[in-house]
Chains A and B, each alone.
Chain A
């Protein structure tokens, strides 16, 4: 009897020990709740098949993502081993000591050349041009546009457009053309509207939208080396860009005052608008007949050029970092070694992820895989991003406080708005001793 009992206890103890050992090898990746996270879970399931180490992609809604991630960092918590964090977080997470320094890993695997240059610059390196890397580019993303091909290709519409504007109706090559097309299709009486843009002033939605105009107009947010913003964010080009963005707001559907990626995809699926701004990561849903009744008639184009011929787009996307407080750092590094392999990156793209691997991006196979991949490929080589300094959220708040009343509330002028924003940002940088 005693032997039996002893045996049972030993069995339980062994079970408990092996369970602990197995759980120590389980990895958790934290990301926002969206389709790419589901594709990532599919991808990492294959890692488990190969190695026996399970990887879980834990998600939270976008609105909560930054707060939840930093709450865990601030508590020095080990709940997540890796995080696929926003590019703007690099400063806060690296200076705060929350990310593991991946510089050696980066150099060892020559990732500066393996990954597309823009993704290395914005998703991985901080401070800019420092040669210090904190993340591996994971999900490339940028803002692009979807449009109603059937509206654009309707012979009656084409003739009417040509008569009114003197050139052919086609996906716009410039912001001026895009404004004309938005004006042309804006017919509230027919429940048809010109365009859908980002207007949500919480976090970075509207700012990313405005950046598309600003960058293509040849303006910049500031000098990322000296933190000088006067003469950049309020330059004549920036003023003209903001005026154009506000003009586009006039061609949006009614109630378009708190809109981000969900609403902008809905604008297409509900047949409301001719053109809609959105991140490429949300375009797969627009090609799905189940989620978009107009899927067969939806086309895509890259962010158009500004009056001076400059063509840039606001960067989205994220890099994957190892959390400093993870108890499985070694296993996480092994996972990253698997993740950066060419075949993994190819598989990642096949599953629907937007790889940042230059080789995969440049391949004909990738560029022809979907109707938007070509636009994505073109865009990823001309992207610019928001400030990645630790106080980026304060800079976003100032931008939202200044831009929103002008764009949506019709308060003041573009010049006054951007002058006030430049003053706010200068004060914030001064407060944190930057550029001194």
Chain B
């Protein structure tokens, strides 16, 4: 059945000369990938699901004891964990909204005739090519209240970006926006350039205002691709670790990925952290599903 839908092997090819069938070649490509996926993804996923119901600690030689749903109960009733979740939600909201606004705004600016447009676009894309840890380290210097360039230019004196518990999360989100707004810009640019020109011409003939044109033509036409950017960025922001870890150690910036890392690799609570990882996984899958459903709706429209 499967071989019916496959492209036939060229009888003159070297593979055919060696006696490989279409099916053999397909398997040669697919089986290593499937084996890799099973060994490095599926197996650990199922194994850690098992651990999530035990009190296992990898740092001891004690055998894992089955504790049922105890880990899940403990985690979901821990006020510190809920704080981590609410911090993460706030971070995702600030960061993704900022990236969409800045990224889409930049794309709108670049979607017109500009001198040196290619160079500007390339320069704008540079931040997202840098390593997260490196970005974190140099933004730490930029934010420094004693010699940081940000306070100097904004005339903020000794303003404590990362030491102030109320501001630190915003400071990290600003770095994330700086780094990833170009990604949204890139996708938005692709969407904007695909909007048929005749729609704008028709709107012009009908004397539609620029705001009306933006909300009725530009935004709906770019929405599907923008939604894809939002899905990617939400998932990434949800699992942010390095940027927040390098920049600040405020409890107000302890995202779930950081708490999970500490629980798994500093405290070695393997069973508990497996349960935590599953809770995070379920949440990410749920949020992504909502987005995908919305994306399909937008596309259908």
- Which residues on A are within 8 Å of B, measured CB to CB? 66-67, 70-71, 73-74, 92, 95-97, 188, 191, 200-203, 253-258, 270, 272, 390-391, 393-394, 396-397, 400-401, 404-405, 408-409
Contact = CB atoms under 8 A, between A and B. Distances in A.
Closest A-B pairs by Cβ, 3 of them = A257-B163, A254-B145, A255-B145
B158 A409 contact: no
B268 interface: yes
15 contacts: A71-B265, A92-B60, A95-B60, A255-B160, A255-B162, A256-B163, A257-B162, A257-B249, A258-B163, A272-B146, A391-B267, A393-B268, A394-B267, A401-B80, A409-B250
Contacts of B248: 257-258
Interface in B23-52: none
A254 B144 CA distance: 9
B147 to A, nearest CB: 9
B113 interface: no
B242 to A, nearest CB: 12
B266 A408 contact: no
A409 B265 contact: no
B121 interface: no
Given A71-B265, A188-B158, A255-B145, A390 B163 contact: no
A70 B268 contact: yes
A92 B163 contact: no
B144 A255 contact: yes
Nearest to A68: B265
Nearest to A70: B59
B165 A409 contact: yes
B77 interface: no
B223 to A, nearest CB: 40
Contacts of B251: 201, 400-401, 404-405, 409
A254 B163 contact: yes
Nearest to A63: B245
Interface string B223-265: 0000000000000000000000000111110000000001001
B58 interface: yes
Contacts of A396: 266
B7 interface: no
Interface of B: 57-61, 80, 143-146, 158, 160-165, 248-252, 262, 265-269
Given A255-B146, A408-B165, A409-B252, A67 B267 contact: no
A79 to B, nearest CB: 17
A98 B141 CA distance: 40
Nearest to B168: A257
Given A201-B249, A408-B165, A67 B60 contact: no
Given A92-B60, A258-B249, A393-B267, 7 more contacts: A201-B249, A202-B262, A255-B146, A255-B158, A390-B59, A390-B60, A400-B251
Contacts of A96: 59-61
A253 B158 CA distance: 10
Contacts of A258: 162-163, 248-250
Contacts of B161: 255
* Residue among A200, A257, A272, A396 having the largest count of chain B Cβ atoms under 10 Å: A257
Contacts of A404: 249-251
Nearest to B148: A255
Nearest to B80: A401
A257 B144 CA distance: 11
A74 B59 contact: yes
B163 A74 contact: no
Contacts of A405: 165, 251
Nearest to B57: A390
A92 B146 contact: no
Nearest to B264: A67
B96 to A, nearest CB: 25
